[in-house]
């Protein structure tokens, strides 16, 4: 602590350079945390899903529907406890600047299937009673200012026309990876408007025992193998993971960009530290003449690097954590539960530590090894 004022004084020598170096470290760590959080959020979404829930889609592809008549047949499969279904709606609201997902769901079975969608009982009953009603995530209230009882008109794209829903419920997800900006409306309303084609996008099936998942999935797929719409059944986790893989190898891409950014900033910081050290050759010689040991001089230079790296880490990592939390960021609905995890913060702190070592080590060793007489002669 005795040397703190010396470290601070040296950092204040070129205030602009110190501020810019610290800012570049902060920016690098902010980007690192952001990119890694994209990866962890996608991973979490891919991992989301009850081990006791299966999803059955059309074997040809998810965009092809399944007959609604499969619901009863699925209920009859041994080990199946409950069945629900849903349809992607893909509508637009207003100027379509703010995307959000809309799903047509079988209300009673869907809410029972997903206890993670928390809804007050009176609102749930209203949703179950009224065919043209919808429930929305709380974020849509913040984004559009919608309120209970309000009529909202969505323009259909897959199912053309204006679709007006009355908001009867505002749900809160109890699991962060459940999107809080969805609009769920009743599947029977969709059926009615379309002239009862009897289709659903996919089925969600709750089974009695997670250990039977593979066997039950196989039984379902065998059952519909020779029908007009064969099924492809898997665990909910696998279903969600398949969406994540649609992004390509995002983890590798994000990781590579993150590392490239950190490496670039490392060079900037190391260069700044080297410049700062070179400018002070004479002063280091003076300190050694006074009696400062090589170790103390080494420590002083490393402390400067540490001050820059740690301040940058606090600003960058703390900023990322606070900013995304405060703004409730979810990547326009594509990254629900976007939150910088403790693991990411710890990893970021480790990166900052490595940054400190890598940028401070060379100038610190150079300063520590500097022969006094040689340094004085070089300056004079």
16 binds another protein (CB under 8 A): no
281 binds another protein (CB under 8 A): no
Cα–Cα–Cα angle for 208, 211, 215, nearest 5°?
85
Tokens of 193: 């408007």
10 binds another protein (CB under 8 A): yes
CB nearer to another protein: give 298 or 338.
Answer: 298
287 binds another protein (CB under 8 A): yes
Residue of 43, 191, 221, 294 interacting with another protein (CB under 8 A): 294
How far apart CA 17 and CA 9 sit, in angstroms, is 13
Q: Which residue has 């099936």 as its token pair?
A: 205
**Strand, helix or coil at 178?**
coil
286 binds another protein (CB under 8 A): yes
CB nearer to another protein: give 18 or 311.
Answer: 18
CB nearer to another protein: give 9 or 246.
Answer: 9
Rounded to the nearest whole angstrom, what is the least distance from the CB of residue 354 to another protein in the complex? 28
289 binds another protein (CB under 8 A): yes
Rounded to the nearest whole angstrom, what is the least distance from the CB of residue 380 to another protein in the complex? 8
378 binds another protein (CB under 8 A): no
Q: How many Cα neighbours within 13 Å face the side chain of 244?
A: 22
How far apart CA 134 and CA 163 sit, in angstroms, is 11
- 117-118 and 161-173 as β-strands: parallel, antiparallel, unpaired? antiparallel
Residue of 292, 298, 324, 338 interacting with another protein (CB under 8 A): 292
How many CB atoms sit inside 10 A of residue 312's CB?
Answer: 25
Q: How many Cα neighbours within 13 Å face the side chain of 107?
A: 24
Q: Which residue has 């005795």 as its token pair?
A: 2
6 binds another protein (CB under 8 A): yes
Beta bridge pairs of residue 166:
133, 151
Q: Which of 83, 190, 92, 176 is nearest to 134 (CA)?
A: 190
How far apart CA 51 and CA 106 sit, in angstroms, is 21
**Strand, helix or coil at 4?**
helix
CB nearer to another protein: give 104 or 301.
Answer: 301
CB nearer to another protein: give 221 or 283.
Answer: 283
293 binds another protein (CB under 8 A): yes
Tokens of 33: 């945390």
CB nearer to another protein: give 83 or 308.
Answer: 308
CB nearer to another protein: give 54 or 300.
Answer: 300
Residue of 64, 122, 372, 378 interacting with another protein (CB under 8 A): 372
Residue of 291, 326, 327, 342 interacting with another protein (CB under 8 A): 291
User: Which residues form the interface with another protein (CB under 8 A)?
Assistant: 2-3, 5-6, 9-10, 12-13, 282-283, 286-296, 372-373, 376, 379
């Amino acid at each position: 602590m005795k040397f703190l004022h010396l470290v601070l004084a040296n950092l204040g020598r070129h205030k602009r350079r110190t501020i810019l170096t610290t800012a570049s470290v902060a920016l690098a760590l902010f980007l690192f945390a952001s990119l890694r959080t994209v990866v962890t959020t996608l991973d979490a979404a891919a991992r989301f899903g009850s081990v006791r829930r299966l999803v059955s889609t059309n074997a040809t592809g998810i965009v092809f529907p399944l007959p609604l008549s499969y619901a009863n047949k699925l209920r009859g499969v041994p080990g199946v406890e409950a069945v629900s279904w849903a349809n992607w709606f893909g509508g637009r609201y207003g100027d379509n600047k703010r995307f959000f997902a809309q799903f047509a769901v079988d209300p009673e079975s869907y809410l029972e299937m997903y206890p993670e969608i928390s809804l007050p009982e009176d609102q749930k009953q209203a949703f179950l009673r009224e065919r043209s009603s919808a429930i929305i995530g709380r974020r849509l209230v913040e984004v559009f200012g919608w309120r209970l009882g309000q009529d909202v008109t969505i323009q259909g794209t897959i199912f053309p026309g204006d679709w007006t829903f009355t908001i009867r419920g505002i749900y809160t997800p109890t699991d962060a990876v459940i999107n809080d900006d969805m609009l769920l409306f009743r599947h029977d309303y969709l059926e009615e408007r379309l002239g009862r084609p009897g289709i659903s996008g996919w089925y969600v099936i709750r089974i009695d025992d997670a250990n039977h998942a593979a066997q039950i999935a196989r039984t379902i797929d065998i059952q519909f193998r020779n029908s007009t719409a064969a099924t492809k059944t898997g665990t909910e986790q696998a279903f969600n993971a398949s969406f994540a893989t649609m992004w390509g190898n995002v983890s590798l891409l994000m990781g590579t960009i993150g590392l490239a950014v950190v490496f670039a900033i490392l060079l900037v910081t190391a260069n700044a530290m080297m410049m700062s050290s070179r400018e002070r050759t004479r002063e280091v010689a003076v300190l050694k003449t006074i009696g400062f040991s090589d170790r103390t001089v080494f420590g002083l230079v490393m402390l400067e690097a540490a001050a820059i790296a740690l301040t940058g880490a606090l600003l960058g990592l703390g900023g990322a954590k606070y900013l995304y939390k405060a703004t409730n960021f979810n990547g326009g609905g594509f990254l629900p539960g976007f939150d910088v995890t403790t693991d990411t913060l710890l990893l970021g702190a480790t990166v900052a530590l490595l940054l400190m070592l890598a940028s401070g080590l060379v100038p610190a060793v150079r300063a520590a090894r500097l022969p006094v007489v040689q340094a004085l002669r070089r300056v004079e």
